[in-house]
Structure formats: structure tokens, C-alpha cells
Amino acid sequence: MTAYPDLQLYIGGAWRKTSSSLPVLNPADESVIGSVPVAGRADLDDALAAAKEGFRVWSRTSPRARGEIMLKAAALMRARIDEIAHAITLEHGKPFLQAQLEVIRGCEFFEWDAAEGQRTYGRVIPSEPGIKYVVMHQPIGMVAAFSPWNFPMSQPARKIAGALAAGCSIILKAAEETPAGALHIARALHDAGLPPGVFNLVFGVPAEISSYLIPQEQTRLIAFTGSTAVGKHLTRIAADHMKPVLMELGGHAPVIVCDDVDPVAAATASAIRKSRNAGQVCTSPTRFFVQEPIYEAFARTFAEKARSVVIGNGLDAATQMGPVANHRRIEAMEALVADARAKGARVLAGGERIGNRGYFFPVTVLADVPDDARVMREEPFGPLAVINPVSTLDDAIAKANGLPFGLAAYAFTHSASRADRLADEIEAGNVSINTLEASVAEVPFGGVKDSGYGREGGAEGLSHYTIVKNVSHRMA
Ligand code: NAD
């Protein structure tokens, strides 16, 4: 298997190192596996100049030609899947199979948007003779994008694909803790023949980079995925400079389990899903509201399945869940469990860190958790689920909608009328019924309330990367 890649910035079509760097750790054993260069002001200025020229060239390239380069890059990444997945497992910890699936998903974002970029249709508005009103969708300009560490390759892919398909240039600051996924995208785009400056990749001190890039005149969109707190902070900076934002922020996904389903099947599927990416997914199912007749059976099965998840190094074939990605997640899990326990919750599975080397934390199941426990309001962003009983659907919907988050929500029911009601009344950008999948390339993904603003993917995804221009043309 290939070694972890030599990490560099990618600016104006060229690779570069810098004088300062940060270590990259393997969360499975805390060893240093690489060092990521830190961009300084001069690097950012170079990236801005490159992206300006990149936008000039790329916005005048036909959507079909843009799509061909994107598809070529996706094909290269599919061919390099094992190399990319190996790097992701090393820096993030997730099982190799999940890393491979992430690479495929990232490629799907490129493939979907490459085609969608050819359909940014405008329209002609009928009016009085002698005048034509034409509505055009043009690329918005240079995008300043920020991607997080939980999906090192597919998170950057989503933003890069949207920007490139729409004809924008982009400076991406990817996550310093998991930089290899974005680096591999840069390699593939470079090898596919992307013109210099269209895509630029930097790493560094997040607050310094965002506060420098957002106010720049040529920055026309801020695209961020991460926590609600940081998203609000960046949105405030953007507002001062009248820049639009695309914000994919935190969630605290409710799951309503109705008493007309098989509790064993629903709990089994839920526990497996909770362990995916060690729960570090903004759509991870977290607050389970289970109708009383099946509550005990559901909670018991969920806990059994949680205890049976094989935890270990993501490179071991038997591993079903790797470590959490950094020490902050261990601290967060420990604090939320201690608080819930002190307030009277039952710990049905997990609850304590495994060992003291590598960031291993088991799938943890809390039951009968009081409403004033922190975990009922704070996104755990780790392998932690809470399971509480509810009597009526009204009660369940009220609890599901009771938080400021509204990203993903789930329900299990075989009743068409209940499903219809849940789809109508749950406040979330994505409601999934009898499936725990919330986001694929062909559907729009995003949140309401504190979970953010805007959509990525689907037919809606490119609208944020374009502006609407109306041309009124009176014939001479
Ligand atoms: P954090 O709030 O410190 O950082 C979240 C992300 O924002 C990181 O990628 C970080 O590099 C970036 N960031 C922080 N300050 C920034 C700034 N001033 N400018 C630009 N980028 C900045 O938290 P964390 O410990 O890294 O992650 C934990 C929390 O983040 C979780 O609780 C979760 O809510 C959220 N998160 C969400 C997603 C998602 O997919 N929506 C992904 C990763 C993390």
C-alpha cells in the first residue's frame, strides 16, 4: 500500500511547501503521519491572483468542456480509490471500506454536477413586441470554501464540484487534520487538465484564512461546512461585506420510531448507521423517540447491536468502526455521558473511552434521558445515541422539532398517513422514512434553522454558485 502523501498547497496549478507546518496525526495510535503546510499572507495573495485569472478562463469555457475535465478527474479518482482511501483511513481513522465508499461518493458529486452544469438554463419572458427579456444564470465568481475533517474527500468534493460545474474558480481551505482527501482531488484535477488557478487548495490557521479571504472584492460566495458556531461567525463577517453564503452546519437528527414497525429490524439498522464514521456525521441519527409499546424491545436490541460493533484500526479488515477523529471528540463524549448519567439517564451500552492510546470510544446508548441533559440539545458528533419513549405522534413531532437544528430527520412507520404527516410536519431540510440515507448526489441537501442556509446537490445545488441576470433588450 502506498505511503501517506507529501502534503502541499496547490496554487495557480503548481504545488508548493511553506516555511511553517502542522503535524497530521493518525487517530488510531496518535502517531505523526505527515505535516501540512501553513499558508501565509503571500500564499493567499498568490491564490487570489491565480483564482482571478482562473475565473476569467473557466467562466468562458463551455459547460460541456468543463464537464469533461470534471468527469476525467472523477475517473482518475475512481482508478486511485485504494490509494486515496488508505490515506483517509490513516488520517481520519474510519474503516478502509467506508473510506472507499467515501471516495465513490465524492466522485458521484463530480459526475452529477458535471452534467448539471450543462443545464443551468435561463429563460425568455414573453412581453410586448420589440422587446425581449432574457434571464441568464452566470457563474457567481470566485468562491472561498471551507471544508471539515469528518469526510476528508467527499466534503471538499461537494464544494469543488459545485463551483467548477457552474464556471466559478475556487480557493478551498480544507481541514488541516485530514488534508489528504482534498490533496488527492487537486492531483486528479491537475492530471485531468484543469487550467491553472481554477482550483486552489490551501491549509493554515482557519480564522486567519477566512478573515482574509471573505472580505476580498473578488470573493463572491462563502461556502462552509462545519459547526453552527463557526458558520454564524463566518456569516457575520460575510454580512459586513455583503457576500452571500452557503452554510451546511450542525444537526441533531431525530428518529421517530412508530409502534407499527418491527423494533428489532429498526434498531439493528439504526445501530449500524450510528456507528458509521464513528457518528461524526451531521446527519447521524441521534435522538430516538420510540413509541411506548415497542420501546423496551427497540432499546434492548439497539444496545446489543451497539455492543457487537467491532472497534479497531480502520486498516484491519474486521474493523466496523474506527477511532473518533481527534481528542476533542473523546472529551465531548465523556462530558455528555457524565452529564446525562448524573441527571438520571441509563447507560445501556458503552460510555467510556477504550484504552488510552488512540481515540477509541464505543457506540454508546443512553436511555430515559431527561430533557435537561446537555446531550438532548448539543450535537454529540460522535458514536452516541439517546433513546426515549413517546406516547403519541404529536409528542414525537414536537420533540423532533424542539431544537434549533433542522438538518436530517428520520422516521420508521408502515402507515402511509403517518409517513405523510411526518414528511409534512418535521422541520428539517431532509426527512427520510424507512431509510437512514439522507444525502445522495441527485438530491438537494441542506438545513433549516440553525443547521444552515442553502442546498448542495440535486437540481438545486448550482443555484448558489450562479447569479441571475435579467437582460431587457429593445430591438433597434
Ligand atoms: P470547530 O467548531 O472548532 O470547527 C468546525 C470546522 O470549522 C473545522 O473544520 C474548523 O477547521 C473550521 N473552522 C473553525 N474556525 C474557523 C474559522 N474562523 N474560519 C474558517 N473555518 C473555521 O469544531 P471541531 O472540533 O473541529 O468540530 C466539532 C464540531 O463541528 C461538531 O460538534 C460539529 O457540530 C461540527 N462539524 C460539523 C460538520 C458537518 O458536516 N456539518 C463537520 C465537521 C464538524
pLDDT of residue 1: 55
> Low-confidence residues of the chain, pLDDT below 70?
1-2
**Residue 124 Cα, ligand 1 centroid: separation in angstroms?**
42
pLDDT of residue 3: 85
pLDDT of residue 172: 99
Residues with CB under 6 A from ligand 1: 146, 148-150, 175, 206-207, 210, 225-227, 229-230, 233-234, 248-250, 282, 328, 379, 381
Q: Nearest-5° angle of CA 125, CA 127, CA 129? A: 130
Q: Which residues contact 237 (CB under 8 A, 6 or more apart)?
A: 210, 211, 214, 215
pLDDT of residue 318: 98
**Residue 125 Cα, ligand 1 centroid: separation in angstroms?**
43
- Cα-Cα end-to-end distance for the chain: 68
Q: What is the DSSP string of 85-137?
A: HHHHHHHH---HHHHHHHHHHHHHHHHHHHHHGGG---EEE--STTEEEEEEE
Give the three cell numbers for residue 189. 484535477
Give the three cell numbers for residue 457. 446537490
What gap in Å lies between CA 396 and CA 330, rounded to an integer?
A: 30
pLDDT in tens, 275-285: 999 999 999 99
**Which of 282, 379, 427, 456 is an active site residue?**
282
pLDDT of residue 262: 98
What gap in Å lies between CA 154 and CA 215, rounded to an integer?
A: 27
Which ranges of 279-365 does DSSP label H, i.e. alpha helix? 292-308, 327-342
- φ, ψ at 213 (rounded to 5°): -75, -40
What gap in Å lies between CA 198 and CA 189, rounded to an integer?
A: 10
* Pairing label, strands 32-37, 123-125: unpaired
pLDDT of residue 476: 82
Helix-helix angle 63-79:96-116, to 10 degrees = 170
Looking at ligand 1, which residue's alpha carbon is closest to its atom 6? 226
SS3 2: coil
Residue 423's alpha-carbon distances to 3, 288, 426, in angstroms, are 47, 17, 6
SS3 349: strand
111 tagged catalytic: no
What gap in Å lies between CA 385 and CA 255, rounded to an integer?
A: 10
What gap in Å lies between CA 405 and CA 447, rounded to an integer?
A: 8
Contact by Cβ (8 Å): 130, 475: yes
**Residue 13 Cα, ligand 1 centroid: separation in angstroms?**
28
Contact by Cβ (8 Å): 9, 38: no
**Residue 298 Cα, ligand 1 centroid: separation in angstroms?**
33
Q: Buried (b) or exposed (e) across 442-461, using 16+ Cβ within 10 A? A: ebbbbbebbbbbbbbbbeeb
What gap in Å lies between CA 225 and CA 203, rounded to an integer?
A: 15
ipTM: 0.96
**Which of 91, 248, 379, 456 is an active site residue?**
248
* Pairing label, strands 199-202, 219-225: unpaired
Nearest to 68 by CA among 194, 185, 196, 168: 194
pLDDT of residue 12: 98
